[in-house]
């Protein structure tokens, strides 16, 4: 019907199924409220926590100021 071999059809169907599976696992779906929270955090990020400040300072010590 499609002018393909059985092998080509099966490989194509398996590939499509694999892509759908990956999409279902990799795509993060957020509620409207969670979308707002992410947008707010990106537009107005909170001050870094003390542990993050220490980590950046340690990185600077190890790798230089880059």
- Domain residue extents for the chain: 6-63
DSSP letter string over 3-66? S--HHHHHHHHHHHHHHHHHHHHH-----HHHHHHHHHHHHSPPPPPHHHHHHHHHHHHHH---
The pLDDT value recorded for residue 66 is 63
Please list the ranges in the chain whose pLDDT falls under 70: 66
Pair of tokens at residue 59 = 């990185």
pLDDT at 29: 87
Measured in whole angstroms, how far is the alpha carbon of residue 38 from the centre of its chain?
14
Instruction: Tell me the pTM.
Output: 0.43
- Distance (Å, rounded) from C-alpha 1 to C-alpha 10? 14
pLDDT score for 26: 87
């Amino acid at each position: 019907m499609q002018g393909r071999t059985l092998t080509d059809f099966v490989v194509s169907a398996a590939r499509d199924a694999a892509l759908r599976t990956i999409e279902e696992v990799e795509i993060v779906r957020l509620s409207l409220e969670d979308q707002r929270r992410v947008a707010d955090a990106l537009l107005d990020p909170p001050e870094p926590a003390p542990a993050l400040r220490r980590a950046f300072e340690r990185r600077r010590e190890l790798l230089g100021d880059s």
